[in-house]
Amino acid sequence: MIQEQIDKIKISDTKVKKLIQSIEIKVEELSKEKNYDNQLKIIDSICKDRNKYLTYYWTSYIGYLKNIKDEKYLKSEDIMAKYEGPYNNSVYKFFEVIDSIKEKNHIINKYGKRFIELAHNQKILKSNEIKLFEEEKHLRKEYRKILNNIRINFNNEEISLVKLNKYFISEDEQLRKEAYDKSYEAIISVTNELETIFNKLLKVRKEIARSTDIKSYTDYSYIKMNRVDYTEKDLKVFKEGIVKYFTPLREKLKKEQAKRLNEKELSYYNASYLFNDGNAKTNKDLDELLKILESIFNDINPEYGKLFRFMLDNNLIDLEDRENKSAGGITTYIPDLQVPIFIKRYMDNSQNLIAITHEFGHSLQLYLNKDKNLHENRWPTFDICEIHSTTMELLVSEHISKIYGNDTKKHLITHYTNLIDILIRTSAVDDFKSIIYNGSIKDTKEVNEVWKDIYKKYYPTNNYNLEYFNKGIMWQRDINRIDDPFYGIDYALATIYALSFYQKYLEDKEEGIKSFTSFCKDGGEISFKEIAHKYHLLSPFNEDDLIMLSQFLEKLLLKIN
């Protein structure tokens, strides 16, 4: 059993330290080596060490997410935090040496030109201020701990903030309202603690950027995330298109939702409740749902179904709802075992189906690249990663009647509505983060004011006169955007490509699956803009393409209705 092998991995201070020293020694050898064959051998050996480090890194983090109070993984997370800065610097030095090699054709022939582009980009991030990275990781962990530790007395039980979410779609309107109110109260009760940590995080991140001689943490993040073929200017075109073409579509859908619920204006506590007789229901327990999903993946492509069964058999999919399990979901890859693994807290609602298929999309891409030794070729950039997962959601939606039966239309309306919400919400958050990390904002008092302005721009009719909204603290609940401030927009960019893949699939299913599988096998050897050209997709950076995709989504919704 692979999970048993993962559990047996022992992480120690000495092991991690020696691993980083080994990388540093080999990078130094590479800088002096002139023979092409020997250079490739050294690069292969460095890749092996990096894979060992990443095996430690991800088994530690996954173990921590499985139980945030487990002493073994609390200790290993402290070790990994201690060495994250030195490891990153050893990798940046590796990239620096790769970039300095004058004749690179032998490297390109083996690893591809994309690796050379990324090496040139990443070498800039080298920093001697290791303590800053340790402090940043510690602050992120403390922020996460505060939200994870919230307990709310509700409906005769003491529950976490995450578990309260299931009541947001209760058919009892009063229960929905109380659940939202309690969640708002819970955030307000810890706001001072969260803001204290975030003020420190804001300062540390600005210092991290300065330590690398980069103008702002926004610019630092763009380099770190390898956004080498599009710029803030491109993203500005994209976000303006979202406001112009998708915000009006959302407003239209929300008016229809309010009408279905017999409301003049949609109440805040009805945001997730789309139908007056309740949202789509599966009436399936988790085991049955997983069996049906396996059959769906087999119908789409037998290769997909085989992988899903392999992951289930080896406990590489963790959906159990446990007391000390982290709220977030994540998919990653264990290099030394060549397996993807994902963890998600199953909460028994319709979104779990989408979450499972989403994470499996990541798993498929990683598994199809398992034989690639170089991390950058196996892992695409985050914006590309989210295309695999979002496209998988849409492919599964074609077979969704197997799960929802008479509620299929309800589920599809909910799914497409959520895609529009992702486009708008993540674009709003990116605008917000760009302002607070680009400018001279010093503390959360100013940050909250910025959020209120951004919120009005993207949600012009959401005029809720409540303390939670009036304070401008909605952003504080989003743990993922605290961990990775500029990751959010990747979901929106990916949704555009995913919709375009899905449009092609509906035109020719066999060719659509062939193209998507080929795209998954590209791994990290293709850049974001290249995808549109290679697979003839509509682009997020072209206004006319955004118009066409907003119309495509509207047609899908009209067809259902």
Cβ-based neighbours of 83, under 8 Å, separated by 6 or more: 16, 17, 20
pLDDT band for position 348 (50/70/90)? low
pLDDT band for position 482 (50/70/90)? confident
C-beta neighbour count of 51 within 10 angstroms: 19
Q: What distance in Å separates the CA atoms of residue 42 and residue 33, rounded to the nearest whole number?
A: 9
Mean pLDDT of all residues in 51-71: 94
| Per-residue CA distances from 294 to 298, 310, 396 (Å) | 6, 10, 11
Q: What distance in Å separates the CA atoms of residue 436 and residue 442, rounded to the nearest whole number?
A: 8
pLDDT band for position 351 (50/70/90)? low
The predicted pLDDT at position 349 comes to: 60
What mean pLDDT is reported for the chain? 93
The predicted pLDDT at position 285 comes to: 86
pLDDT band for position 506 (50/70/90)? very high
- Cα-atom radius of gyration of the chain, to the nearest Å? 23
Kindly state the percentage of the chain with pLDDT values over 90: 81
Mean pLDDT of all residues in 526-536: 96
Among 301, 294, 541, 556, CA closest to 413: 556
pLDDT band for position 323 (50/70/90)? confident
Q: What distance in Å separates the CA atoms of residue 423 and residue 433, rounded to the nearest whole number?
A: 16
Give strand pairing partners of 339: 334
Answer whether 148's CB lies under 8 Å from 326's CB: yes
Q: Report pLDDT digits (tens) over 404-436.
A: 999 999 999 999 999 999 999 999 999 999 999
Answer whether 457's CB lies under 8 Å from 425's CB: no
Answer whether 450's CB lies under 8 Å from 435's CB: yes
Among 427, 349, 364, CA closest to 396: 364
Q: Report pLDDT digits (tens) over 218-239.
A: 999 999 999 988 988 999 999 9
Among 54, 559, 557, CA closest to 257: 557
Mean pLDDT of all residues in 264-275: 94
Q: What distance in Å separates the CA atoms of residue 36 and residue 114, rounded to the nearest whole number?
A: 19
- Give the lowest-confidence range in 162-176, 188-202, 375-389, 419-433: 162-176
Residue 162 has pLDDT above 90, yes or no: no
The predicted pLDDT at position 527 comes to: 94
The dihedrals phi and psi of 68, each to the nearest 5 degrees, come to: -70, 0
The pair of three-digit structure tokens given for residue 355, joined into one six-digit string:
């979450």
Cβ-based neighbours of 429, under 8 Å, separated by 6 or more: 475, 478, 481, 488, 489
Residue 71 has pLDDT above 70, yes or no: yes
Mean pLDDT of all residues in 371-400: 96
Kindly provide the b/e burial profile for residues 530-557, where b requires at least 16 CB atoms within 10 angstroms of the residue's own CB. ebbeebebbbbbbeebbebbbebbbebb
Cβ-based neighbours of 394, under 8 Å, separated by 6 or more: 498, 499, 501, 502, 505
The predicted pLDDT at position 350 comes to: 60
The predicted pLDDT at position 484 comes to: 86
The predicted pLDDT at position 102 comes to: 93
Among 393, 384, 359, 356, CA closest to 502: 393
Residue 477 has pLDDT above 80, yes or no: yes
- Give the lowest-confidence range in 159-168, 257-266, 269-278: 159-168
Rounded to 10°, the helix 528-535/509-522 angle is 150
Among 480, 172, 159, 169, CA closest to 321: 159
Mean pLDDT of all residues in 451-461: 94
The dihedral through the CA atoms of 170, 176, 182, 186 has a sign that is positive
Kindly state the percentage of the chain with pLDDT values over 70: 99
The pair of three-digit structure tokens given for residue 232, joined into one six-digit string:
């803030």
Q: What distance in Å separates the CA atoms of residue 71 and residue 439, rounded to the nearest whole number?
A: 40
